């Protein structure tokens, strides 16, 4: 049974783990503020910083000025390419969300947690594979793999037996990233589906769709040298709101 919004509101707080990359620290702050401002109850947004994740021991190299994963034999566009899969290591029970930091949340995150269904190990927006350009964001190479973008917004059922088996295995530090992003440790019927408005891919999905979470996967105003793109004003407005809130707080 899915939880009702009333049941969700009875909880003390929502736990949201967010990908963190020092190059996108401003994006993280805007994403965090957008979640907290719209949440009816406390929302704890926790950054996943690589140096704070002792369970993540897989090697990371530099090649041609970019991060490189020797296990995957592929580039890593951000420091949180793999860290999202640490969530069930950090939390052993209950539900938690993971989100990339290049998002703006436009609805109460409680509505997202209300979609939690214990029969699933994870619940995601099941994007169809779409190829865009070869380069994205900060001149990072675009990598294509099965179930691309499914792992960018995830509701984790941390106590699910399949996730506990994943934690007990060595998959986190031995599997190629493409297998982790495809949730290869799960059976297909253990992966639930979120409404697509909870991971709207800006510049890829139809802009007329209802949007509860805008995901700037191709980049945005937080990228140095950004030349402009769809929904930039939405992100800029969220930044203005965040800055205004900080100033109001400082001014007392």
pLDDT in tens, 164-189: 999 999 999 999 999 999 999 999 99
Quickly state the pLDDT bin for 4 (edges 50, 70, 90).
low
pTM of the model: 0.87
Quickly state the pLDDT bin for 7 (edges 50, 70, 90).
low
- Please report how the helices 25-38 and 232-251 are oriented relative to each other, as an axis angle in degrees rounded to 10: 80
d(CA 224, CA 91): 34
Which residue from 45, 48, 61, 46 is spatially nearest to 21, judged by alpha carbons? 48
Quickly state the pLDDT bin for 138 (edges 50, 70, 90).
very low
Q: How far is CA 227 from the centre of its chain?
A: 24
d(CA 137, CA 140): 6
The per-residue pLDDT for 106 is 97
| CA dihedral of residues 70, 75, 77, 78 (deg, nearest 10) | 10
- Share the mean pLDDT of the chain: 89
Residue 29 is classified by DSSP as H
**Higher per-residue pLDDT: 143 or 162:** 162
d(CA 202, CA 162): 32
Which residue from 214, 219, 202, 207 is spatially nearest to 238, judged by alpha carbons? 214
**Phi first, then psi: what are they for 22, rounded to 5°?**
-55, -30
Give the DSSP H or E segment for 135: strand 135-136
Neighbour tally for 63: CB within 10 Å: 10
d(CA 100, CA 92): 21
The per-residue pLDDT for 207 is 77
The per-residue pLDDT for 132 is 52
Q: Do the strands 213-215 and 200-201 form a parallel or antiparallel pair, or are they unpaired?
A: parallel
Give the DSSP H or E segment for 31: helix 25-38
The per-residue pLDDT for 135 is 47
Residue 49, class by beta-carbon neighbours within 10 Å (0-12 exposed, 13-18 middle, 19+ buried)? middle
Quickly state the pLDDT bin for 209 (edges 50, 70, 90).
confident
Task: State the average pLDDT over residues 49-55.
Answer: 96
2-6, 14-18, 62-66, 190-194: least confidently modelled range:
2-6
Quickly state the pLDDT bin for 13 (edges 50, 70, 90).
confident
Residue 81, pLDDT above cutoff 80: yes
Residue 92, pLDDT above cutoff 80: yes
95: domain CATH number? Answer: 3.90.550
The per-residue pLDDT for 214 is 98
Residue 129, pLDDT above cutoff 90: no
The per-residue pLDDT for 94 is 95
| CA dihedral of residues 216, 222, 228, 233 (deg, nearest 10) | 80
Three-class SS state of 158: coil
The per-residue pLDDT for 39 is 95
Task: State the average pLDDT over residues 111-116.
Answer: 96
Q: How many domains would you assign to the chain?
A: 1
Are the C-beta atoms of residues 122 and 190 closer than 8 Å to each other? Answer: yes
Residue 80, pLDDT above cutoff 90: yes
**Higher per-residue pLDDT: 247 or 110:** 110
The boundaries of the domain holding residue 50 are 5-251
């Amino acid at each position: 049974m899915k939880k009702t919004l009333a049941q969700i509101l009875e909880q003390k707080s929502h736990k949201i783990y967010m990908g963190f990359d020092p190059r996108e620290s401003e994006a993280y702050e805007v994403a965090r503020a957008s979640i907290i401002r719209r949440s009816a109850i406390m929302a704890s947004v926790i950054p996943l910083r690589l140096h704070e994740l002792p369970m993540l021991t897989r090697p990371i190299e530099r090649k041609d000025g970019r991060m490189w994963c020797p296990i995957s034999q592929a580039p890593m566009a951000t420091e949180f390419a793999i860290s999202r899969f640490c969530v069930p290591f950090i939390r052993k029970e209950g539900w938690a969300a993971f989100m990339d930091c290049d998002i703006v949340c436009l609805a109460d995150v409680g509505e997202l947690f209300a979609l939690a269904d214990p029969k699933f190990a994870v619940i995601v927006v099941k994007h169809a594979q779409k190829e865009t350009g070869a380069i994205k964001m900060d001149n990072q190479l675009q990598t294509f793999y099965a179930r691309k973008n499914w792992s960018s917004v995830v509701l984790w059922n941390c106590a699910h037996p399949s996730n506990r088996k994943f934690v007990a295995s060595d998959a986190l530090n031995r599997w190629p990233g493409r297998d982790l992003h495809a949730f290869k440790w799960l059976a297909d019927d253990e992966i639930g589906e979120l409404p697509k408005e909870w991971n709207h891919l800006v510049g890829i999905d139809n802009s007329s769709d209802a949007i509860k979470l805008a995901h700037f996967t191709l980049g945005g105003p937080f990228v140095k040298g950004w030349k402009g793109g769809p929904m930039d004003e939405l992100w800029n407005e969220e930044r203005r709101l965040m800055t205004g809130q900080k100033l109001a707080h400082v001014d007392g």
